[in-house]
């Protein structure tokens, strides 16, 4: 009897000792669960967060608004990646890349510029992707009683804001005019000068613009009666711009925007990995919703 009482007392002491030292198995499970949760919070849905780094994207001027919004969205997932964006005409940006400007990603408003960079072996293999399609529009400023109804009678305008032929929207406009029989056929429509366009339109005054943003500003501010911009450029300017015509793809051809990672000798491994991650974000389903809000067509091959 004494042995049984002693054994029971020893067992009680052992239980108390274990409780004081290690806690219950449930407590351990809870601690492990908390630790796992903390680890999960340090990760994003598509991988762990990057350490501090900066990447640079060169993007067509017509992408200014949408890319700014996408950068903000990306930074919600990757707050340590600073994305520096430079916007201009795709032709100008392409030349800067060819001249050695430090750039991680190029988002062009046309295939031509990306084709040239790829031919120069400046594009990282396997990273090029077609992202969106756009459309060229003939626009005027809100409240204007212009007689112009579209591209084919644009000669009725007193002034016409038109991007240079090296700028994608300028090239697409010239291509549409060639296909509509308004300009003579040539091997490279981007080589058609602004003077030649003016002459073909009976000497109309043309404001040659450096990029589509300049065209948009010239028309929305009333400096020019009409201009050709992308449909996406009218987003947010409904109170300033009126679309007179959406030019069909039968005249312009597809207006495809490709994106790709650019070979950057100045980038370290972290910067290169972050650039590729941002490229994947730009081509994600989440990003498609934003493109569509800005009037881009995401149904591309």
Per-residue pLDDT of the chain (301 residues; tens, 9 = 90+): 333 433 444 344 343 343 443 444 444 444 444 444 343 343 344 568 999 999 999 999 999 999 999 999 999 999 999 999 999 999 999 999 999 999 999 999 999 999 999 999 999 999 999 999 999 999 999 999 999 999 999 999 999 999 999 999 999 999 999 999 999 999 999 999 999 999 999 999 999 999 999 999 999 999 999 999 999 999 999 999 999 999 999 999 999 999 999 999 999 999 999 999 999 999 999 999 999 999 999 999 7
What pTM value is reported for the model? 0.82
Q: How far is CA 56 from CA 24, 103, 211, 269, in A?
A: 52, 5, 20, 14
pLDDT, residue 301, reads: 78
Q: 139: which strand partners? A: 227, 243
Instruction: Report d(CA 174, CA 119) in Å as an integer.
Output: 25
Instruction: Report d(CA 104, CA 57) in Å as an integer.
Output: 6
């Amino acid at each position: 009897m004494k042995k049984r009482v002693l054994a029971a007392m020893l067992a009680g002491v052992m239980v108390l000792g274990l409780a004081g030292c290690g806690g219950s198995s449930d407590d351990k499970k809870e601690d492990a669960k908390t630790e796992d949760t903390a680890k999960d919070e340090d990760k994003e849905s598509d991988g762990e967060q990057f350490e501090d780094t900066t990447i640079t994207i060169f993007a067509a001027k017509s992408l200014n608004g949408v890319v700014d919004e996408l950068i903000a969205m990306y930074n919600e997932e990757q707050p340590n990646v600073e994305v520096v964006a430079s916007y201009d005409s795709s032709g100008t940006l392409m030349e800067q890349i060819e001249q050695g400007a430090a750039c991680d990603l190029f988002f062009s408003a046309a295939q031509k510029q990306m084709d040239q960079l790829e031919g120069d072996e400046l594009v990282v293999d396997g990273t090029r992707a077609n992202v969106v399609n756009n459309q060229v529009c003939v626009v005027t400023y809100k409240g204007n009683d212009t007689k112009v109804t579209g591209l084919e009678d644009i000669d009725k305008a007193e002034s016409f804001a038109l991007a240079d032929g090296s700028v994608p929207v300028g090239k697409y406009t010239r291509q549409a005019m060639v296909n509509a029989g308004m300009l003579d056929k040539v091997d490279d429509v981007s080589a058609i000068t602004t003077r030649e366009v003016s002459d073909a339109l009976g000497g109309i005054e043309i404001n040659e613009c450096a990029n589509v943003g300049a065209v948009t500003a010239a028309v929305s501010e009333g400096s020019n009666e009409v201009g050709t911009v992308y449909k996406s450029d009218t987003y947010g300017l409904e109170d300033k711009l009126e679309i007179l015509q959406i030019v069909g793809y039968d005249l312009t051809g597809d207006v495809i925007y490709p994106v790709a990672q650019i070979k950057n000798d100045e980038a370290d491994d972290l910067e290169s990995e972050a650039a590729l991650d941002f490229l994947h974000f730009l081509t994600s389903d989440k990003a498609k919703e934003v493109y569509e809000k800005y009037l881009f067509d995401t149904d591309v091959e």
